[in-house]
A and B are shown apart, each in its own frame.
Chain A
Amino acid sequence: MAVEYIARTRELYSDYIPYRWVVNETVPFTPLRKPIRDCKVALMSSGGIMYRDQRRFHREDASCRRIPKNARRDELSVWHFGYPTTDAKADPNCVFPLERMRELESEGVIGELSDPAFSFMGGIYSARKVCDELAPQIVDELKKAHVDAFYLVPA
């Protein structure tokens, strides 16, 4: 049975004004144009991953970190207030599967892993900040990089 997270959010944050969930009436959908083995794929995680001495995240932080695709595991760290980060700190691949995506690239399962990968800290209360500030900037970069498919991993 899948956990009912919407009900649990209401309960967990019961001391606050109820969270207003984003309501999307339609589902935007762009078909994949070619087989995934020929696609340039970009990776993004909302798990709060940082590379080397990149600035740490903080609450209400809608900024983004660019992570070089060849980053080593010991060059990554994690900050997020909204989920237990113990396992992600031990192995970022739990929420940011960079090493796995590199393997799929070398095996030819995907055409190419786009460089850099992206991460932000997903505990952003303001959907407006995400829609107006964070997302457009990333989408713009993806277009410039001619990315064919965008793989998102929330945490």
Chain B
Amino acid sequence: MAEEAGIPTLCMTSALDITESVKAPRAVFVNFPLGHQTGKPNQPEIQRRIVREAMAAFETISKPGEIVRLPYVWDPNDRSWEEIDYTKGWMPVPPSREEADREEVERRARFAGK
């Protein structure tokens, strides 16, 4: 929709098959578990490299639907995440409704009146 409106887009992805299937105009693939499309927590260096390479891909991608694959590996010694990502039992058990509501009250209270 943005592309039709004249705005070039670029989509990060760690789900290569989905991005190919929906035909994203431009994409940059990182083979990390879902929830880490722009890197690992508190590792600004790897995050910076991924985002910087994504910005470069805005210029280098010339064919519609092209996907640039970045070479980063989540953990060279352990690929077990690839077996369990997005399979049954992989999501942590969500908090109970009461617990979630309490968390939400606390979250909003943190910023109230500031």
With a CB–CB cut-off of 8 A, which chain A residues contact B10?
A: 149-152
Q: Which of B5, B13, B56 contacts A154 (CB 8 A)?
A: B13
Once A28-B25, A30-B3 are accepted as A-B contacts, the answer to whether A56 and B107 lie under 8 Å apart by CB is yes
> How far apart sit A79 and B71, CA to CA, in the bound complex (Å)?
29
With a CB–CB cut-off of 8 A, which chain B residues contact A35?
A: 59
- Is B111 a contact partner of A52 (Cβ separation < 8 A)? yes
> How far apart sit A47 and B38, CA to CA, in the bound complex (Å)?
11
B16 close to A (CB within 8 Å): yes
Q: Which residue of A lies closest to B69 (CB)?
A: A2
Determine how close the nearest CB of chain B comes to the CB of A70; give it in whole angstroms.
Answer: 16
Determine how close the nearest CB of chain A comes to the CB of B75; give it in whole angstroms.
Answer: 14
- Is B88 a contact partner of A154 (Cβ separation < 8 A)? no
Determine how close the nearest CB of chain A comes to the CB of B101; give it in whole angstroms.
Answer: 10
- Is B47 a contact partner of A27 (Cβ separation < 8 A)? no
- Is B9 a contact partner of A136 (Cβ separation < 8 A)? no
Determine how close the nearest CB of chain A comes to the CB of B63; give it in whole angstroms.
Answer: 8
Q: Which of B7, B38, B90 contacts A142 (CB 8 A)?
A: B7
> How far apart sit A5 and B34, CA to CA, in the bound complex (Å)?
10
- Is B47 a contact partner of A29 (Cβ separation < 8 A)? no
Report how many A-B pairs have Cβ atoms within 8 Å: 190
> How far apart sit A84 and B36, CA to CA, in the bound complex (Å)?
10
B41 close to A (CB within 8 Å): yes
Number of chain A residues close to chain B: CB under 8 A = 69
- Is B22 a contact partner of A29 (Cβ separation < 8 A)? no
- Is A30 a contact partner of B8 (Cβ separation < 8 A)? yes
With a CB–CB cut-off of 8 A, which chain B residues contact A8?
A: 85-87
Determine how close the nearest CB of chain A comes to the CB of B109; give it in whole angstroms.
Answer: 8
Q: Which residue of B lies closest to A138 (CB)?
A: B2
B55 close to A (CB within 8 Å): yes
- Is B59 a contact partner of A32 (Cβ separation < 8 A)? yes
- Is B35 a contact partner of A100 (Cβ separation < 8 A)? no
Determine how close the nearest CB of chain A comes to the CB of B22; give it in whole angstroms.
Answer: 6
A-B contact pairs, 6 of them (CB 8 A): A5-B18, A33-B8, A47-B35, A93-B47, A103-B48, A153-B38
Query: What residues make up the interface of B, taking CB atoms closer than 8 Å to A?
Result: 1-13, 15-18, 21-26, 29, 31, 34-42, 44, 47-48, 50-52, 54-56, 58-59, 62, 64-65, 82, 85-88, 90-92, 94, 104, 107-108, 110-112
Q: Given A39-B58, A152-B12, 9 other A-B contacts at CB below 8 A? A: A26-B23, A28-B1, A28-B64, A91-B42, A93-B39, A135-B1, A143-B7, A151-B9, A153-B37
